[in-house]
């Protein structure tokens, strides 16, 4: 006997829209809104289709990966401002931090560490 029920909303078109959303860096909730499905539908589908679930997580990383590649390409092409931007964020342990660090004791500043690297 054939099981009767509502037809699945997880059609090829829905899956394609979800993948588009994940490639653009949208969250699960945002992707569901984009594909016009409920989050529980997505999570149920992921639980039943582990391959799709793994693919979803990889697709979500693409925006960050492309951003890193863009920055690296600018730096490799000699872009000084991109290099400085990168070092401000990633070179803190090497002293490339533009933020001044203030130490307080009893509401009095007793030490100011000057940023290094961009003097």
Written as tens digits, the pLDDT of the chain (119 aa) is 556 667 789 999 999 999 999 999 999 999 999 999 999 999 999 999 999 999 999 999 999 999 999 999 999 999 999 988 888 888 766 666 666 555 666 666 555 555 555 44
Who contacts 111 (Cβ-Cβ below 8 Å, separation ≥6)?
A: 102, 103
Residues 81, 55 share a domain:
no
Domain that holds residue 102: 77-113
Instruction: Look up residue 93 and give its DSSP letter.
Output: G
Number of domains in the chain: 2
Is 106 domain-assigned? yes
Which alpha helices (H) appear in the chain, and where do they start and end?
12-23, 28-35, 39-48, 50-60, 62-76, 80-90
Give the integer Cα–Cα distance in Å for 95 and 72: 20
Q: What pLDDT is attached to residue 68? A: 92
Q: What is the pTM of this model?
A: 0.67
Residues 49, 19 share a domain:
yes
């Amino acid at each position: 006997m054939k099981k009767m029920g509502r037809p699945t909303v997880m059609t090829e078109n829905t899956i394609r829209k979800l993948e588009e959303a994940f490639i653009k860096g949208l969250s699960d909730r945002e992707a569901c809104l984009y594909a016009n499905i409920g989050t529980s539908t997505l999570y149920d589908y992921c639980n039943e289709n582990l391959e799709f679930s793994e693919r979803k997580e990889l697709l979500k990383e693409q925006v960050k990966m492309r951003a890193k590649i863009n920055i690296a390409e600018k730096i490799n092409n000699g872009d000084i401002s991109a290099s400085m931007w990168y070092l401000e964020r990633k070179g803190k342990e090497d002293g490339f931090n533009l933020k001044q660090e203030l130490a307080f004791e009893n509401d009095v500043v007793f030490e100011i560490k000057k940023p290094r690297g961009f003097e």
